[in-house]
Amino acid sequence: MPNSLPPVDRVAVVVGGGELGRATAVKLASQGMTVVAVDRSTSELELLPKGIVRELADATDPVAVAPMIEHIVQNVGVPDVLVNTLGAFEIADAMTTTPDQFRLMIDVNLAPALWLSQAVAPYMQTKGSGAIVHIASRPGLEPTAGLAAYAVSKAGLVHLTRVLDLELRPLGIRVNAVAPQLIDTARNQALLPKEALSHAVAPEAIAEVVAFLASDAAAPVSGAILPAYGA
Protein backbone atom coordinates (compact mmCIF):
# COMPACT_ATOMS: atom_id res chain seq x y z
CA MET A 1 0.00 0.00 0.00
CA PRO A 2 1.57 3.35 -1.02
CA ASN A 3 2.41 5.89 1.66
CA SER A 4 -0.16 8.65 1.88
CA LEU A 5 0.98 12.27 1.77
CA PRO A 6 0.60 14.25 5.01
CA PRO A 7 -2.44 16.49 5.10
CA VAL A 8 -1.86 20.10 4.10
CA ASP A 9 -2.93 22.64 6.71
CA ARG A 10 -5.64 25.06 5.76
CA VAL A 11 -4.21 28.53 5.20
CA ALA A 12 -5.79 31.57 6.83
CA VAL A 13 -4.79 35.17 6.15
CA VAL A 14 -5.66 37.60 8.94
CA VAL A 15 -5.29 41.26 7.96
CA GLY A 16 -4.82 43.75 10.77
CA GLY A 17 -2.40 43.27 13.65
CA GLY A 18 -4.38 44.98 16.41
CA GLU A 19 -5.95 43.23 19.36
CA LEU A 20 -8.77 41.68 17.33
CA GLY A 21 -6.39 40.58 14.58
CA ARG A 22 -4.04 38.95 17.09
CA ALA A 23 -6.90 37.19 18.89
CA THR A 24 -8.24 35.91 15.56
CA ALA A 25 -4.83 34.72 14.37
CA VAL A 26 -4.25 32.87 17.64
CA LYS A 27 -7.71 31.28 17.52
CA LEU A 28 -7.37 30.05 13.93
CA ALA A 29 -3.86 28.75 14.61
CA SER A 30 -5.20 26.82 17.63
CA GLN A 31 -7.57 25.06 15.23
CA GLY A 32 -4.66 23.74 13.19
CA MET A 33 -4.59 26.34 10.43
CA THR A 34 -1.43 27.84 9.01
CA VAL A 35 -2.01 31.51 9.76
CA VAL A 36 -0.45 34.49 8.01
CA ALA A 37 -0.88 37.76 9.89
CA VAL A 38 -0.63 40.95 7.84
CA ASP A 39 0.04 44.42 9.19
CA ARG A 40 1.94 47.53 8.17
CA SER A 41 3.52 47.82 11.62
CA THR A 42 6.47 45.63 12.57
CA SER A 43 5.79 46.30 16.24
CA GLU A 44 2.27 44.87 15.96
CA LEU A 45 3.52 41.75 14.19
CA GLU A 46 6.19 41.20 16.85
CA LEU A 47 3.44 40.75 19.46
CA LEU A 48 2.22 37.59 17.75
CA PRO A 49 3.19 34.20 19.19
CA LYS A 50 5.62 31.91 17.44
CA GLY A 51 4.19 29.75 14.69
CA ILE A 52 2.21 32.51 13.02
CA VAL A 53 3.68 33.71 9.73
CA ARG A 54 4.20 37.48 9.60
CA GLU A 55 3.68 39.55 6.46
CA LEU A 56 4.59 43.24 6.53
CA ALA A 57 2.25 45.08 4.13
CA ASP A 58 -0.18 47.99 4.03
CA ALA A 59 -3.56 46.59 3.03
CA THR A 60 -5.04 50.08 2.79
CA ASP A 61 -2.83 50.65 -0.27
CA PRO A 62 -4.71 49.24 -3.30
CA VAL A 63 -1.44 48.83 -5.21
CA ALA A 64 0.10 46.70 -2.45
CA VAL A 65 -2.71 44.24 -1.84
CA ALA A 66 -2.53 41.97 -4.90
CA PRO A 67 1.29 41.51 -4.67
CA MET A 68 0.92 40.76 -0.96
CA ILE A 69 -1.63 38.01 -1.58
CA GLU A 70 0.49 36.60 -4.43
CA HIS A 71 3.52 36.52 -2.13
CA ILE A 72 1.52 34.55 0.45
CA VAL A 73 0.29 32.12 -2.21
CA GLN A 74 3.81 31.50 -3.47
CA ASN A 75 5.43 31.15 -0.04
CA VAL A 76 2.70 29.65 2.15
CA GLY A 77 -0.17 28.44 0.00
CA VAL A 78 -3.54 29.39 -1.43
CA PRO A 79 -5.67 30.92 1.33
CA ASP A 80 -8.72 28.97 2.42
CA VAL A 81 -9.75 31.81 4.73
CA LEU A 82 -9.38 35.58 4.62
CA VAL A 83 -10.25 37.63 7.70
CA ASN A 84 -10.20 41.41 7.38
CA THR A 85 -10.02 43.09 10.81
CA LEU A 86 -8.85 46.50 9.60
CA GLY A 87 -10.70 49.38 11.20
CA ALA A 88 -10.46 53.03 12.18
CA PHE A 89 -12.77 55.00 14.44
CA GLU A 90 -13.55 58.72 14.56
CA ILE A 91 -16.11 60.51 16.72
CA ALA A 92 -17.72 63.34 14.72
CA ASP A 93 -21.29 64.21 13.82
CA ALA A 94 -22.46 64.87 10.28
CA MET A 95 -22.17 68.64 10.62
CA THR A 96 -18.55 68.63 11.83
CA THR A 97 -17.04 65.71 9.92
CA THR A 98 -14.04 66.91 7.91
CA PRO A 99 -12.97 65.70 4.46
CA ASP A 100 -9.88 64.09 6.00
CA GLN A 101 -11.97 62.20 8.56
CA PHE A 102 -14.37 60.98 5.90
CA ARG A 103 -11.58 59.82 3.59
CA LEU A 104 -9.84 58.01 6.45
CA MET A 105 -12.98 56.06 7.34
CA ILE A 106 -13.54 55.02 3.73
CA ASP A 107 -9.88 54.24 3.10
CA VAL A 108 -9.56 52.00 6.16
CA ASN A 109 -13.02 50.62 6.94
CA LEU A 110 -14.38 50.05 3.44
CA ALA A 111 -11.94 50.13 0.53
CA PRO A 112 -9.48 47.44 1.75
CA ALA A 113 -12.35 44.95 2.00
CA LEU A 114 -12.81 45.28 -1.75
CA TRP A 115 -9.11 45.18 -2.65
CA LEU A 116 -8.53 42.12 -0.43
CA SER A 117 -11.56 40.29 -1.78
CA GLN A 118 -10.54 41.04 -5.36
CA ALA A 119 -7.03 39.74 -4.71
CA VAL A 120 -7.88 36.53 -2.89
CA ALA A 121 -11.02 35.38 -4.74
CA PRO A 122 -9.28 34.14 -7.94
CA TYR A 123 -7.00 31.89 -5.87
CA MET A 124 -9.90 30.57 -3.80
CA GLN A 125 -11.76 29.91 -7.03
CA THR A 126 -9.00 27.52 -8.12
CA LYS A 127 -9.87 25.43 -5.04
CA GLY A 128 -13.59 25.83 -5.54
CA SER A 129 -14.00 26.97 -1.96
CA GLY A 130 -13.08 29.71 0.49
CA ALA A 131 -14.36 31.83 3.33
CA ILE A 132 -14.02 35.60 3.64
CA VAL A 133 -14.96 37.38 6.87
CA HIS A 134 -15.03 41.15 7.30
CA ILE A 135 -15.53 43.08 10.54
CA ALA A 136 -18.51 45.42 10.26
CA SER A 137 -20.18 47.27 13.15
CA ARG A 138 -23.56 47.92 14.68
CA PRO A 139 -23.53 51.57 13.50
CA GLY A 140 -23.24 50.16 9.98
CA LEU A 141 -26.59 48.44 10.48
CA GLU A 142 -28.32 50.99 12.67
CA PRO A 143 -27.68 54.74 12.15
CA THR A 144 -25.84 56.21 15.13
CA ALA A 145 -25.67 59.94 15.88
CA GLY A 146 -22.21 61.37 16.36
CA LEU A 147 -20.42 58.81 14.19
CA ALA A 148 -21.33 59.99 10.70
CA ALA A 149 -18.25 59.00 8.70
CA TYR A 150 -17.63 55.83 10.70
CA ALA A 151 -21.24 54.67 10.37
CA VAL A 152 -21.35 55.39 6.64
CA SER A 153 -18.11 53.49 6.03
CA LYS A 154 -19.35 50.48 7.98
CA ALA A 155 -22.73 50.61 6.22
CA GLY A 156 -20.83 50.48 2.95
CA LEU A 157 -18.93 47.44 4.24
CA VAL A 158 -22.19 45.71 5.16
CA HIS A 159 -23.57 46.30 1.66
CA LEU A 160 -20.28 45.27 0.03
CA THR A 161 -20.31 42.02 2.00
CA ARG A 162 -23.75 41.21 0.63
CA VAL A 163 -22.76 42.12 -2.93
CA LEU A 164 -19.64 39.96 -2.68
CA ASP A 165 -21.78 37.10 -1.40
CA LEU A 166 -24.00 37.29 -4.48
CA GLU A 167 -21.02 37.40 -6.84
CA LEU A 168 -18.68 34.92 -5.15
CA ARG A 169 -21.03 32.32 -3.68
CA PRO A 170 -21.52 30.68 -7.14
CA LEU A 171 -17.72 30.17 -7.17
CA GLY A 172 -17.82 28.33 -3.83
CA ILE A 173 -16.62 31.32 -1.81
CA ARG A 174 -18.61 32.35 1.24
CA VAL A 175 -18.55 36.00 2.37
CA ASN A 176 -19.82 37.05 5.79
CA ALA A 177 -19.25 39.76 8.37
CA VAL A 178 -19.34 40.11 12.13
CA ALA A 179 -20.89 43.29 13.53
CA PRO A 180 -19.72 44.15 17.05
CA GLN A 181 -21.14 47.15 18.85
CA LEU A 182 -17.96 47.87 20.79
CA ILE A 183 -14.78 45.85 21.26
CA ASP A 184 -12.93 45.95 24.58
CA THR A 185 -9.53 47.12 23.33
CA ALA A 186 -6.87 49.26 24.96
CA ARG A 187 -7.58 52.08 22.48
CA ASN A 188 -11.29 52.08 23.26
CA GLN A 189 -10.56 52.00 26.98
CA ALA A 190 -8.45 55.13 26.57
CA LEU A 191 -10.92 56.86 24.25
CA LEU A 192 -14.27 56.16 25.90
CA PRO A 193 -15.69 56.59 29.41
CA LYS A 194 -15.88 53.48 31.58
CA GLU A 195 -19.69 53.33 31.46
CA ALA A 196 -19.60 53.18 27.66
CA LEU A 197 -17.53 50.00 27.89
CA SER A 198 -19.98 48.12 30.11
CA HIS A 199 -21.22 46.03 27.19
CA ALA A 200 -17.97 45.89 25.23
CA VAL A 201 -17.03 42.46 23.90
CA ALA A 202 -13.56 40.98 24.32
CA PRO A 203 -11.53 40.50 21.12
CA GLU A 204 -11.28 36.79 21.92
CA ALA A 205 -15.08 36.49 21.89
CA ILE A 206 -15.28 38.14 18.48
CA ALA A 207 -12.52 35.82 17.28
CA GLU A 208 -14.70 32.85 18.25
CA VAL A 209 -17.47 34.12 15.98
CA VAL A 210 -15.01 34.72 13.16
CA ALA A 211 -13.61 31.21 13.58
CA PHE A 212 -17.10 29.77 13.31
CA LEU A 213 -17.77 31.63 10.07
CA ALA A 214 -14.45 30.39 8.70
CA SER A 215 -15.19 26.78 9.64
CA ASP A 216 -16.93 23.97 7.80
CA ALA A 217 -19.68 24.17 10.42
CA ALA A 218 -20.74 27.44 8.78
CA ALA A 219 -20.87 25.93 5.28
CA PRO A 220 -24.53 26.97 4.74
CA VAL A 221 -23.88 30.55 5.92
CA SER A 222 -23.07 33.23 3.36
CA GLY A 223 -24.07 36.86 3.07
CA ALA A 224 -24.75 37.06 6.79
CA ILE A 225 -23.96 39.98 9.07
CA LEU A 226 -23.74 38.39 12.52
CA PRO A 227 -24.40 40.77 15.43
CA ALA A 228 -21.98 40.56 18.34
CA TYR A 229 -23.38 43.29 20.57
CA GLY A 230 -22.51 41.86 23.98
CA ALA A 231 -24.71 41.23 26.99
**Beta strands 130-135 and 173-180: pairing type?**
parallel
Chain centre to alpha carbon of residue 58 = 14
**Single-letter residue type at 184:** D
Question: Is residue 122 within 8 Å of 77, Cβ to Cβ?
Answer: no
Q: Please tell me which residue in 150, 174, 183, 201 is annotated as part of the active site.
A: 150
Question: Is 229 designated active site?
Answer: no
Structural element, H or E, at residue 37: strand 34-39
Span between the terminal Cα atoms of the chain, in Å? 55
| 201 contacts: CB under 8 Å, gap ≥ 6 | 180, 181, 182, 183, 184, 228, 229, 230
Question: Is residue 169 within 8 Å of 175, Cβ to Cβ?
Answer: yes
Q: What is the C-alpha to C-alpha distance for residues 145 and 151, in angstroms, rounded to an integer?
A: 9
Order the strands of the 53-56 sheet from edge to edge. 53-56, 34-39, 11-15, 81-84, 130-135, 173-180, 225-228
Under DSSP, the state recorded for 183 is B
| φ and ψ of 128, to 5 deg | 80, 15
> From the CB of residue 144, how many other CB atoms can be counted at a distance below 10 Å?
15
Catalytic residues: 150
